Structure formats: C-alpha cells, structure tokens
A and B are shown apart, each in its own frame.
Chain A
C-alpha cells in the first residue's frame, strides 16, 4: 500500500537572525498515519537565500562569514537554551548547561591501570596529548569548585571513545571528556577564534550540507574548483588534502517523499529510521538500502523529522548545539516509540550517540526511552530476524571480496564482528576484517588541518591491512571512516546494508 506522505525539505531550522531568512513552515497538513513524517518541526524550506551565483556551500570564505554570525542560532523548537533551565530542577545528571555536571565521583572507579591510555589512538601518535586517563578521572579528581579550568589538551581528543571499552572498571571516560570539552569550549575558547569558527562549522555539518543540497551540483563543482580546498585550509584550517564529500542530487528525504513514504504497513513491526545527515545528503543509497531491506523483512519504516545526532558536536564541545538538536530528535523519536517503533540508525556513531551520549549528557523527557529503543540497522535484524537462514542460500551475483573495517563507535556497541559474521555464509562474498585499529578520522578530527597528519598516521595500519586484503572494495558502517578508507586507499567503500540489499532484497 502506498501512503500519502509529505515531507517537506528536511532542513535545519537552525537559523539565525540572518537577512533573507524565511521561516514559513506553518502549512500544517492533516496529520498522516503512523510511519509518515509530517510537516513541521524541523521541516522547512530553505533558509539560505543567496544569489545563485556564489552560493555554494563549499565556498570557504562565505562559510566563514556565515559562521561568525551563526553564534546565536536558535533552536528549531523555539527552544530553550538550557542556560535558562530552572536551577531548582538540578539533577546531578543534567548538567550542561544549567550547572556543572560534577563527575568527580567518576574518578572513584579509576585504578590508574592505564588501559585507556594504551588503547588511545591519539596518544599513540601525538606526544603532546596526555591521554584519556588524564583528561578523564585525573583531571576531574584534581578539580575544585571555584578553582579549576580545563586543560586545553582536551581539544585533541578525537572522541573515538575507545577508552570507554578499554576500561575494566567502567569509568565514564567519554562522558568526562565530553563534559570537560563542553566546558572548555563554553568558558575558555575564544569565540571569534579561527579554531572555534572552524569547529563550529565542522560540527554543524548538517546545516551546511542542507544548504549545499539545495544546489548539489553547484556545491560539488565548487568544491572541485582548483584551490577551493586550499582556500578552506588557509582561511579555516580545514585539511586541504581531503576531498569534500559529494552531495547527492536527490536527498534521501526527497526520495522518500517522492516514493510516497512507506510501502509496507505493519503495526506489529515498526521501525523509525534515524538516517542521520550523511545518508540524507551524501549517501542516500545507504538510506534506500535500509528501507528496502527492512521492507523486505516486513517492517513498516517511519522516517520521523530529525536533526543531527550530535556526534560531531560532542567531539567539538558544542554541547549547546547538540542539545538543541537532541530536543528535536528526542521529541520525535519518543513519539515514534509511542507508536510501537524501535529506532534504527544506519550510522554507528548516530546509534551510539542516541544510546550512550544522550542519556549521559542531557536530561530531556523521554531520552532514556530513546536510548533503550535505539539499535544499529544490522544489529536489529540479527536480533529479530533469522538473518542466517535468510542468507544461507543466497549468492552475490558478482563475486566480491570486501576489506571490512569496524568503526570505533561500532566496537563500543559490541558490533565489531557483525558484518563479518552476517555475510560469512553468503556465496560469492568474502569479508575480511582489517583489524582493530582506528581509521584515524574520527568524524571531524581528521578534517582539521593541524590533525590531518596524525589522522593519517593513525589510519596507516588500516590502510596497510586494506591493501593486503584480497578485495579492493572497502566496507564499514561509519560514513567518516568510509571517507578515510577511500582517502587512504582509493577503494570504493560500501555499507553492509547495501550488500544486504544486493543479497536479499
């Protein structure tokens, strides 16, 4: 059955007091049935109305201008900047902003064993970085109420969160790092500095991607203009060696709307798809694969309004931004959960964020529910479907070997072996795990000019193992790992959902 769905452009409503802004999104349509996004919330027309000529999102100079005025972005929900939260509502878990989360207690679990430091990919290549033990339990324990600031070295943490899994004693390392980084950025970082502006841009990727997606061809072309990336490096400190990701000519949400939304209706098997920014703007084929695979298994797919999961914002200490986005996400996902859905992400960083960082950092009504109901796409199918049986007799038409890299954030969710295990028995598929090293890009980390070399040094082991692997197609769940894999080897990189689509759907 085809449903009548309407989604307007999924666009950030984070807009700005910018001239030319349009905020017309009020055309409420009668509310469609479950599974179908409705207009509203974060759905609104373009807010960036430049003259056609030089509007490309890749134009670094313009980006820089914009970001400078971007400081006062208001929430999509008209939202509470939580600085205004009632201090009486203090809860030791909700801290930012609205009072410091005091994580000194977390230091109680640390035995100084240094497992975190030895697992930290940044500490391995960066002599100046004192490592997660210092950033987390040590720094917190040395803090005092009115006598502390955060050491600047926190900005070198890439937020790969490997330390979380390395710790034998459940020290909330990444939570401590996130909190410290947020505090550093909020209280100690110069808001007009190039670094701040650059980090703000990188962490608000969605905002800029949404603009670029208005004119994807132009944006793609602009990024390829000789010197464009050099300019980006000179002006903003964005690594010039990297190729800017291409924007799809049709976003996932545009495709979803054009397709008429869900093709399967099933009140007993519903999932709400959290596609994240990258699958929407850059690799809609991953999102499409998710929909087709899930529909193959009889799921009704909902695509609720959504914003950035917050991953790049956490990594850059932009907790206010992350919270604003989280408010929208939680509100819509809670509604979907209320309609019987579980939340499925195809990006392992998105799923980790919703599962772990959300409840650790924010106190938003329903956030625990979202955390408990969120799964990674392949993980969910392996739990609820007989994927093994389904795949037993399948065959991939064109025999292919894949060099599979498990993202750090997948590792944290216990998913590092899922792709290898899932496709083990599929005829024609060879899945080779390239080892447990970090890809080195860690979202925005490897995009920073001053981190680029280190990022590539961290990635060297993975590159080497990929080259040694049989196949010349890479596979991973994480979009930025995919960028790094492609950048380091030139391989085409695919998502396990795409392979699953090829084999079953």
Chain B
C-alpha cells in the first residue's frame, strides 16, 4: 500500500489554510490541495472586513460574539494582515431609529465596545461622509488582507512540515470499503511550485482523513465521494475604488440590504455587496447593474464615490449552508454560522469531514474546531495554540527607520513594504541591491517580488496576491512586464511570456466592469502601450512558428562594410520597420489572441 499521510485538506481558502496550519502545529502530517492559487475561491473575493461582530449584533448574536472574540485574536496573531481602521454604523435620516437602538443594545449584549457619536464627530473622523448622516455607532471593525492571511497560514504550516499543493484540483475522492481513504489530484504543472509549460501529473494522496474545506464547492467534492452537501452559493459583487475615500469601515445602519458597506483596503476602498443565490459557483452572470447599484447606493453615505475612479469589480460566492429542511427563502436570512459535517455520522462514510458556512473573521476558530474533530477521529492528542502563536510576519512590526535608512526606501514605500512584510521585512529586503520600485502604484520593490517568486514559482498572480504588485491604478499596464522580467533570471523566455500574459489577462478581467471615465482612459493607454510600443498583439516571438530572421537585413554595420559607408543607416531602419509592421498585421488578422 502507498504511503499515507494523516490528513488531506481540500481547499486553499482561509478555512483550509487555517486547518492545515492548526493540524501541522499539532504534529499531524497534513497536505493542502487547492485547485487554483491560495484564496482562489471565496476568500480572495471578499471585501476584507475584519468583523467586530456589529453586523450580526441584532440578527445573529452567536456569530457576533464569535466575531469580536476572533477579531481580538487576529489583531494579535495576524497583526501584519490587519489594519485597525475602526468602523462606523451610520444612520441617515430615513434609517430607522429603532433599529439604531437595537443595534447599539445588541453590540453591548455581545460585549462589542460601541460608542455613539453625532454626525459632526463622524464627519470629523471621516470628512467625506454625507452631510445628512445624523449619528453613528463607532466600533472596532477592521480591515484584513485575506491573501496575506492565507499565505501566512500556509507558510507556517509548511514550516511545521505540511505540504501545500496549489494548482492541483481534486479529480476524485478515493473511497475504499465504504471509507474515504484519500484523493486524486491533477497537478497542472509540477508537483511543487507552479511553473508554466512544465508537464502536469496525476497523483493519489492517501490519507487517514480528508477535510473538505472547499466552501461553495463543497457539493462538488461531496459528489465525488458520493455524498450530498447542499451548499447554497450566493453571489455578491464588490467594487474597488482607486483611492481611499474613507479610512474607517463605513456600514449603513439598517436591517439588511444591498450595498451597505465600504471597507478601506490597503490603498483602495472596496464597496460591497449584493446577496443573490446562484446555481453554480463557477458560472453565474456578472451584471453591470450590480456595479451601478454599489456606487449609486453607497454614495448616499459618501457622495464623493460618484465622482471617484473605479478600478475594477469582482464577484464572490458565499458558501452558505443550512441544515436540510430549514428552507429559508431569502439568502440574506441564511445563517452565517458554520457547520461541521461528519460524513461518518451523517452519511455512514467515515474518513471525511466537510466544513461549510462561516466567515473569514472566524476562520481560526473554525479551523480549531475542525482540527479538534480530526484529532479526535484519529485519536491524536494535542492542544491547539493558534490563538496565541503569531503568524510568520506578525511576530513584531517592521522597523520603519531601518527600512528607510538601511535599505534606502522612500518613506511611503517603506511604510507599505513594512506593512505587507511585517517582521519578515529585513530578511526580504536584504541582499537585493539595487532594489528599484517595480510596481509604482503599490510601492512594491524588486526584493519583494523576488521573495514572492521564490515561493510562487512562475505564477505571477500568486506573486500579485503576496505583494499587491499590479493591483494599483494602472492594473498592470506599467508593471506586468517589469514583474515578469524578474522571472527571467530563473525561467526561460517562453515561461516568462506565458506568465506575463496570464497576469495581464487577470488584471483585464476585473477592469471590464470599470470601463468608463478614468479607468477607461487607463485601459486604452495600457492597450496602446502593450499593443503598439511593446508590439504584444503581434510579437513574432509569441507567434506560432519560427521567425525567419534571415529575412531581416544584416543591419547598418554590414551595409557599411559592403558599401562606401556613407548612407546605409537610414535604409536599415526603414527595412526593419517594414518587416516588423507586416508581422504585426499578421498577428492582428490572426484573430484569437
């Protein structure tokens, strides 16, 4: 029989990453498999709110209490992923006073520190708030970077002996003798780090227990094992603004509704969201009216949003779950609580546990509870320490002065690098000299990009998630090729080209929903730079078939040598230009690139 690991965790979102870290720290041999990059599913498609619990203080006090508890834990163990922005629940004249009071009482009942401030005070804190905001409840909401959070969890797990496999979708759940004994995965490239153009491979991973932490995709994995998991995926749109109109999380204080939150996230603001049930978490319509609704409705709270630049929009699917037979009609009424489904008890299929529901803020608590369950099932005795052990990077804050003096970073670059890297900053920045800024919008230096490449292979989207490079206002227009160039030290040219294309395409995907006004201008400028200046829409090097370099003339020197040397330079340039132009035209008419 094949070698067997203790646990396979399927799904590299916050839950899966949290579980694999917890298990690894408890001394179990764990493998995490994820079909895309870490955070590929729902985790990477949320607004980044670190709940204080205020949002659930009226409707779901159990969740609210868990949120405030975990909120405090994450400020501590994930300091470099969290920004302590504070939050406001603001009341406009048409919003119910009764609900405002309920909210306040609910917060107090759940031990969420809450303070009522008047409209003037709210505007002093956030000058762009609408003039007619009457009052607000201030509470300790925050912002969390889900990418950094997951990557740090995975990195810690790896330090404790776990194996992390991304770009490795599960193709089958192995069931033998009425028991789940592992999974079959399909490595796109690899195994190991993803490198474009490397051949893929199929691998069977046998394990004593399988954790299905695939959220909205839990049904698909369940199906492979022959069990029913009725997840009700619900989509929500999020719109990214170019700058931070607010530095505090702004919530609308009303029972429920679309478009009621603005989260300051790194350099941007994220507007959210909608809640609409969909059939398939992979395939649902992304509609423009949803984006319009965000801007329209939230500008009632922050009028400036109407004039502000939108970078992109994205949709995520919530992994909502309710026990069979509950029959809630409106997805907004489905509980945000999480459920642990032991398929041994539930479906008489031991060896697999599914976790569904829940939210990012409580990911660690969920991970703890499922790890407890797995340890029980495996008869493994170990205590959980994830509430106290800081994540790699969060051990201590980066020292700004050192980053500026020792590594010569400009102040805002040092601040943002220090914030992203936390206690790893010095290790990452050391030894890369010169260390120019590669992504200007987000202040990402070469050292940070190289550090990410070391972990992520040639996958530049994984580099992006780690560094934020290409997530600023040019959306990769001015930096995707610079980032790709960093790959060229290690990888051959075709890999670099593929990686660059992939990153650039991904950036385009979200911008499609922001093509008006200034982002439209940006997109056109990007297009012209890439298509014309860089000739990327017809580059002979990326066309199929080899280039007949012999068709080019031999250049000025050869001409000069052959003739009297008085006139050739001009000829050479003209010829070169003409040949290049033809090649470009071919590329364009070629169609599908």
Contact = CB atoms under 8 A, between A and B. Distances in A.
Please indicate which of the listed interface residues A105, A112, A153, A169 has the most CB atoms of chain B within 10 Å of its own CB.
A112
A103 to B, nearest CB: 10
Interface string B301-334: 0001000110000000000000000000000000
A112 B411 contact: no
A130 B410 contact: yes
Contact of B247 (A99, A144, A149): A144
Contacts of B127: 90, 92, 99, 102
Contact of A149 (B124, B411, B440, B473): B411
Contacts of A113: 525
B152 interface: no
A230 to B, nearest CB: 32
Interface in A110-155: 110-113, 130, 133-134, 138-153
A267 B296 CA distance: 52
A111 B523 CA distance: 9
Contacts of B244: 104, 144
Interface in A52-109: 87-88, 90, 92, 99, 102, 104-105, 107-109
Contacts of B83: 144
A94 to B, nearest CB: 11
Contact of B474 (A112, A134, A140, A153): A112
Given A130-B410, A143-B412, A151-B412, A108 B308 contact: yes
Contacts of B128: 92
Please indicate which of the listed interface residues B83, B242, B264, B477 has the most CB atoms of chain A within 10 Å of its own CB.
B242
Contacts of B413: 142
Contacts of A108: 242-243, 308-309, 473, 518
A134 B436 CA distance: 13
Given A112-B473, A141-B242, 9 more contacts: A90-B127, A107-B242, A111-B473, A112-B441, A112-B478, A133-B440, A138-B412, A140-B243, A141-B243
Given A111-B474, A169-B521, A145 B247 contact: yes
B158 interface: no
Given A92-B127, A108-B242, A138 B440 contact: yes
Contacts of B477: 112
A180 B244 CA distance: 17
Contact of A151 (B120, B308, B410, B521): B410
Given A102-B127, A108-B243, A138-B440, A152 B411 contact: yes
B146 interface: no
B304 A111 contact: no
Contacts of B124: 87, 90
Closest 4 CB pairs of A and B: A108-B309, A145-B247, A142-B412, A151-B411
Contact of A105 (B304, B443, B474, B525): B304
Contacts, number: 87
A88 B127 CA distance: 10
Interface in B103-157: 120, 123-124, 127-128
Contacts of A151: 410-412
Interface residues of B, number: 36
Please indicate which of the listed interface residues A88, A138, A146, A152 has the most CB atoms of chain B within 10 Å of its own CB.
A138
Nearest to A104: B243
B482 interface: no
A142 B473 contact: no
Interface string B263-305: 0100100000000000000000000000000000000000010
B474 A141 contact: no
Please indicate which of the listed interface residues A113, A130, A134, A142 has the most CB atoms of chain B within 10 Å of its own CB.
A142
B512 interface: no
Nearest to A92: B127
B473 A105 contact: no
Nearest to B525: A111
B536 interface: no
A40 to B, nearest CB: 37
Nearest to B411: A151
B473 A110 contact: yes
B415 interface: yes
B87 interface: no
B412 A107 contact: no
Given A112-B474, A152-B411, A142 B443 contact: yes
